[in-house]
Amino acid sequence: MSADGSNDPDADAPGPDAEGPSADGPADLAAYLRAEVAATDFRIVVATMLAVYALFAVFTLLAGGGLNTLGSTWVRLTFLFAAYAILSLALNLHWGYTGLFNIGVAGFMGVGVYTMAVLSTPPDAISGMGLGLPLPVGIVGGMLAAALVGLVAAVPALRLRADYLAIVTLGLSEIIRLTLNSATLSGWTIATFGFGTGGGSGIDLPARPTDALLDTVVGTALVDVLDPTITASVLRRSLWVLVMIGFVIGIYVLLARVGNSPFGRVLKAIREDELVAQSLGKDTRWFKIKVFMLGCALMGLGGILWQGSQGYVSPDSFRPIVTFYVFVAVIIGGSGSNTGSLVGSILFVGLLFEGPRTFGNIVSNAVSLPSAPGTFAGAVAPLASLDVTPLLSYLVGNISAFRFILLGVVLILIIQKRPDGVLGHRTETAAAIDLDRPAANGGGNDE
Amino acid sequence: MVASNTIDRGRTLLREQPVLALAGVAGAVLVLDLLARLAGVEVPLVGDRTFGGSLGMGRFGGLLWNGIIVGLIFGLAGIGLSMTYSILNFANFSHGDLVTTGAFTGWGAALLVAGWGVADVGHLLLVRPGSGANPNEIGASIAQAPLSILIGAAVAAVATVVVAVAIDRAVYKPMRDRGGIALLIASIGVALALRYVIQFVYGSRNRGVTSTQDVNATVLGITIDLHEATLVLVAAGLMLGMHLMLQRTKLGKAMRAMADNKDLALVTGIPTERVVTATWVLGGALAGVAGYLYVLERGTIEFNLGWFLLLFIFAAVILGGIGSIYGAIAGGFVIGFVHEVSLIWVPSDFNAAAAFTIMILVLLYRPQGLFGGVTTA
Amino acid sequence: MSDAPLQVRDLKKTFGGIVAVDGASFEVEAGSLTGLIGPNGAGKSTTFNCITGAHTPDSGTVVFQGEDITGRRPDQIANRGLVRTFQIARELEEMTVLENLMLAPKGQLGEQLWRSVTPIARGEVIEQEAELRERVWETLDFFEIDHIAHDEAGTLSGGQRKLLEMARAMMTDPDLLLLDEPLAGVNPTLEEKLLDRIHELRGQGYTFLLVEHDMDVIMDNCEHVIVMHQGSVLAEGEPEVVQSDDRVIEAYLGEIDV
Ligand SMILES: Nc1ncnc2c1ncn2[C@@H]1O[C@H](COP(=O)(O)OP(=O)(O)OP(=O)(O)O)[C@@H](O)[C@H]1O
Ligand SMILES: [Mg+2]
C-alpha cells in the first residue's frame, strides 16, 4: 500500500498531483513509486482472481466440460466474488475500520432485499405482493431502509462492548428473518396495505434490468453469433455480473475515499481507543452512527444485487451463516484492508465455497465410485474388511458437510496463526494526501 | 409514605432509564391483561382490539408448564455458557453445538442399550440415520427402558466433556492471551466445524428417537408426561448439585473467584489452568445433558438443534447477568416463560422474536442482568 | 468570583468503596504553569479524569472559562480548549505517528463524511490536509520524533509515546493543557527542551496544569503548586512555601494521615 493509502485504482494519480506543484526530481520519483505500489495492490487482486479462474478451468477440463460450461463456471464464480466483495467491503468498514463487531450482516441484507421487493415487485406476482414501482426506487428504498434499521440499532447499541454488540446484532438479524418469515404479518400487510412479504414461501422479485438487453436487436444478434459456444443463459448472467463488478469498483473507490480522509482517521482512532478520540474533541457517537448507517446501506445493496437478482427470494437466504461467510472472507483478507476484503472474497468463494463442491464433482465423475452408502455406519463398516471405497464415496457424497468443516477449521487456523490475514500486516494510511514531509519545505527546518 | 416513595423511585427511573421504565409499564399492563383474561373480563378498545378476553386456566397452566420445561433446558445449558463467558472471558458461539454433541452421543448410547438385538449397532449408535427399526420398536422410553435413558444421560455428559476439553486444548489454549473477540471468532469456527462433523457422522435427517408408548401416567388425577417429569427431576437435581459444588468445595470457590476477577485469581495463586479445565468439564457436561433431555422431551433429533437453541441460551445468560449461574437458571425460566406465555398475545411465528427482543433490551439497558449487579457465580 | 479559567470546587469521586477524590477544590490561573503533586494514589489522575469528562464526578463542579462543564462529554470539553494527556500513554497503536498527529487538529473539513467523498468538496479537504501536514511536521521536528514519523505508534518506546501524546495534544491548539506526568520516561536532554517549550508556550498565553513526581522539576518550573493527599487539597501556594509545609512533608513521608 502506498503511504497515502490510495488503494483505489483511480486515486493513485490525483493524490500526489493535487497537492502542489513541487515538480523537482524526488517528488516525481516518489509519485512514481506510489503509483507503482498502488498498482501492485490492484495486481494482487487481479492475480488472485486469475489464479482462481485457472484452477476452475483445470477443474472444468478434467471434468470434460466445454467452453460453455467453463464460461458458466466463471460467470458463477465472478457473480459470487462480486457479491461477497460488496458485503465484505461493507463489513470491513464496520469492523476493520471502526471496530464495530456487527454480526447481523444477513439481517441488513434481508431488509434491503425485501424492501426492494415490496417496492418493485409487481402486484400480481405469484408469491408475495409488491407495489410495482420502478426498480431504481426499489433499490434506493432498500438501501435507505437498511440504513434506517441500522440507525435504530446504532443509537442505543453503539456504546456497547464489542461482544455485546455482536450478540445484539445477531439477535436483531434473527428477529428480522423471523419477521420476514411470518405468514401472519404478510397476511396482515396484504389485507391492510396491499403488499406483503409472502412469509415463509418467499417473494418473487423483479427481473434483472440487464436481461432485457438481450431482447434488443443488438442483443439477439449477439446471441445468434455466440449461440452454440456460449448459450444465451450464460450471456444473460454475465451481463448482470458486469453490472455487479461496476458496483464493486464504485464501492471500493467510495470506501477508499472514506478511509483515506480525516473521517477515516477518526474511525481508526475509534477502533484503537475511543476515549483518546473523544479527548481530542471528536464526537465519536456521530462518526459511529454515520459509519454504521453507511455500512448497513451497502449491506442492503449487496443483498439486492446478489439475492435480489435471482427472481425469487425467501427468508432462508438470510440465515446467520451468510454473515459468517462474509466474516470468513474479511478475516482471510485481513480486517482493516479494503484490498484484503477483495482478495479474501475471491479466496473464500474460490477455495472454500465453490472449490470443494466442484472438486467433489470431478472426483465422483472421474473415479466411477459406487453409489454412496446412506449412512456413516454403512461407510465405515466395510473398513473392517479394508474396503475404503464406501467411505470415499460417502465423503464425496457428503462434500457439502465437509465444506463447512473445512470452513470452520480455516477460520480457527487463521485467527490463531495469521490474525492479520493472508496479505499480512498492512498499513493503509488514513489521510487524503501523502503524509511524507513536503519536499518544498526542504525538510529539517529545526536545527 | 410508601406510595410516595414508590412514585419517587418511579420518577428517578423514568429520568435515568426511560426505556427500562417503559418496559416495566408494558410488563405491568401485560400482567393486568393476563389477569383480566383469566378472569374472563373483556374491555373493548379501538377496533376489534380488546383489553382482557378469555383464557382458560387449563391452557394457561399448559403454557406455564411448557415454560418451565424449556426454561430448565435454557438454564441448564446456560450455566456452562455463563461460566465460560466469565472465566474464559469470551462469548462461546459453539456452546449450542456442544448441546447437540450431547444429544447425539447420549441418544446413541440410549438406543443401543434399549434396542440391543432389535436393530444393528450402526443404526442404533447413529441414532437412526436412515431407514430401519422405528422408535417404538427400539423402545427407548423412561417407562420401557429406564436404565437405557439414564445410561444415555451419563454418556451424553461424558462425551460432551471429552469433546469440550479436546477443543479447548486444540483451539482456545494456544489463544489464552488473546482478546475476547479473537476467541469469539474462533468459537464461530468451532461451531461450524463441530456442527458439520456431527452432520457428517449422524446425517442430516430430522428423525424421531423416543418411544411414545406408556409415557403418560396419571398421578393424583393429573396426566403427566413421564419424559417431561424426568427432565424436570434430572435438571433440577443437576442444578442443585451445581449449587452445592460451588458453595461447598474448594474448586467451586476458586471458580467463583475467577469468575469475579481473573487477575486476582492469578495473583492469589489459584491454579487457573485447572479451573479452566473444570469449567469446561462442568459446563460441557451440563450442556450435553441439556441437549439429551431436550430430545427426551421433544422426541426428535437433528444436527442443528443446539445451534437453534444458542440465541435462547445467550438470552437466558444475559438476562441473569453474565457470570452468575443462579442468574442463568433464573434467566432460563424468564426466557422460557416469555417463549411460551407470550403466545397468549403474539402469533406463534413471533414468540422467538419476543424472547430475542427482551435479550436485546436487557443488553442495551441493563447489561449487568435483571437480578442485581453482582456477578458472583 | 475569580476569573481563573479553571475552577474546581468540592470535586468528589468514588469507585465502589474507594474514595479517589474527596472534595478537592482549586483554581488554575490564566497563563500559569501550575504543578499538581501528591503521593501515589492521591487522586491526581482521577481529578484529571473528572475535569476532562472521562469520568463523571459524584459531586462538585468544574468551571472552565466561566462555563460549568461538569459532567460534559470529553469531546465537548476538549473542543472548548481544555485538553489532557494520559499518565499511561494511550497511543493509537495501529496508527502511525503521523496519523496520530493528523487526527488531533480541530475543525477538519474532511471529518464530514460527505466532504471526504464528494469530488469538489474533497479538493478542499485535500488542501486542508496539506496545511495540517505542514504543522504536523513542524511539531514532529520540535518533539524530535520526526525520524519515527511513519512508524506505528504501538512500536514506540515508553518515552517516545509520552512525546507523541504531548505532541498530539498540542496539535489540538488548546487553551489549557492538563499534562499527567508528561516527563516520565523522557531522557534528561529532551526533558529540558520540553520544559523550555512549555515556558515558551506559556509566554504565548497557554496555561498548563502539570502532574509530576520529580520535585525538582516542580520547584524549578512552577510558580504555583497544589498538593493533593487522600483525595483532597492539602496545601497550595508558591513552591518554597509548600515545600516547607509540615503537613506536606508528613504526607510525603506517609507517617500520619491528615
Ligand atoms: N477506574 C478506577 N477504578 C477503581 N479505583 C480507581 C480507579 N481509578 C483510580 N482508582 C483508585 O483511586 C485512587 C486514586 O487514584 P489516582 O490514579 O487518581 O491517583 P494518582 O494520584 O494519579 O496516583 P499516581 O501518582 O500513582 O498516578 C487510587 O486508590 C486508585 O486505586
Ligand atoms: Mg496518576
Condensed to tens digits (0 to 9), the pLDDT of residues A300-309 reads: 999 999 998 9
The alpha-carbon gap from A445 to the nearest alpha carbon of chain C, in Å, equals 8
Helix (H) or strand (E) holding C141: helix C119-142
Residue C258, pLDDT score: 42
pLDDT value at A345 more than 60 = yes
Instruction: Tell how far the Cα of C180 is from the centroid of ligand 2, in angstroms.
Output: 7
pLDDT-derived band at A100 (thresholds 50, 70, 90) equals very high
Backbone angles phi, psi at C59, to 5 degrees: -155, 175
Average pLDDT of chain A, as a whole number:
85
Q: Which of A255, A291, A268, A294 is nearest to A89 (CA)?
A: A255
> B135 and B209 in contact (C-beta within 8 Å)?
yes
DSSP H helices in B115-211: 121-125, 135-138, 146-167, 180-202
Q: Which of A121, A74, A98 is nearest to A245 (CA)?
A: A74
Q: Cβ of A391: how many Cβ atoms within 10 Å?
A: 18
User: CB-based contacts of A81: which residues, under 8 Å, 6+ apart?
Assistant: A49, A345, A346, A349, A350
- Angle made by CA atoms C52, C55, C57, in degrees to the nearest 5: 95
Instruction: Give the percent of chain A with pLDDT over 70.
Output: 89
Rounded distance, CA C2 to CA B95, Å?
A: 62
Instruction: Tell how far the Cα of C212 is from the centroid of ligand 1, in angstroms.
Output: 15
Residue A410, pLDDT score: 93
> B172 and B184 in contact (C-beta within 8 Å)?
no
Partner residues linked to B301 by β-bridges: B207
Identify the DSSP state of A93: I
Determine which of A402-406, A419-423, A435-439, B323-327 has the lowest per-residue pLDDT on average: A435-439
Residue by residue, DSSP assigns A182-228 as -HHHHHHHHHHHS-B--GGG-EE-PPPGGGGGGGSHHHHHHHHHHTT
* Greater pLDDT, B348 or C72: C72
Q: Cβ of A61: how many Cβ atoms within 10 Å?
A: 13
Q: How far apart are the first and last CA of chain B?
A: 37
* Chain A residues close to B174, C-beta within 8 Å: 416
Instruction: Judge: C95–A262 Cβ closer than 8 Å, yes or no.
Output: no
Rounded distance, CA A209 to CA B130, Å?
A: 46
Handedness of CA A425, A431, A437, A438 (dihedral sign): positive
Of the CA atoms within 13 Å of residue A335, those in its CB half-sphere come to: 26
Nearest 10 degrees: Cα torsion C180, C186, C189, C193: -30
Rounded distance, CA B321 to CA B377, Å?
A: 10
If one residue of C11, C13, C14, C15 were mutated to test the ligand 1 pocket, choosing by the most ligand atoms within 8 A of its CB, it would be: C15
Residue A370, pLDDT score: 74
Give the CATH number of domain A44-366+398-426: 1.10.3470
> C47 and C255 in contact (C-beta within 8 Å)?
no
- List ligand 1's pocket residues with C-beta within 6 A: C 15, 18, 20, 38, 40-46, 87
Q: Which of A4, A7, C135 is nearest to A17 (CA)?
A: A4
Mutate to test the interface with A, among B100, B309, B356 (most CBs of A within 10 A): B356
Structural domain boundaries of chain B? 2-50, 75-312
In a 10 Å sphere around its CB, with 0-12 CB exposed, 13-18 middle and 19+ buried, how is residue B224 labelled? middle
Identify the DSSP state of A383: G
Q: Which atom of ligand 1 is nearest to the CA of C47?
A: 18
Rounded distance, CA C133 to CA A133, Å?
A: 49
At A181, the amino acid letter reads N
Structural domain boundaries of chain A? 44-366+398-426
Q: What is the pLDDT of residues C199-256, one digit of tens each?
A: 888 888 889 999 988 888 888 899 899 999 998 998 888 888 888 888 887 877 664 4
Q: What is the pLDDT of residues A27-75, one digit of tens each?
A: 666 666 666 656 677 888 988 999 999 999 998 888 877 888 888 899 9
> A291 and A93 in contact (C-beta within 8 Å)?
yes
Determine which of A380-394, B237-251, B311-325 has the lowest per-residue pLDDT on average: A380-394
Rounded distance, CA A349 to CA A332, Å?
A: 11
Mutate to test the interface with A, among C133, C138, C141 (most CBs of A within 10 A): C133
Q: What is the pLDDT of residues B57-115, one digit of tens each?
A: 778 888 888 899 999 999 999 999 998 888 888 899 999 999 999 999 999 999 999 88
* Greater pLDDT, A135 or B1: A135
pLDDT value at A6 more than 80 = no
Instruction: Please name the residues between 58 and 97 in chain A that touch chain B, using a CB distance below 8 Å.
Output: none
pLDDT value at B233 more than 80 = yes
Residue B2, pLDDT score: 59
pLDDT-derived band at A5 (thresholds 50, 70, 90) equals very low
Determine the average pLDDT of the residues in A143-157. Answer: 92
Instruction: Judge: B189–A408 Cβ closer than 8 Å, yes or no.
Output: yes
Nearest 10 degrees: Cα torsion C129, C133, C134, C138: 150
At A225, the amino acid letter reads V
Determine the average pLDDT of the residues in C3-24. Answer: 91
Q: What is the pLDDT of residues C38-65, one digit of tens each?
A: 888 899 999 999 999 999 999 999 999 9
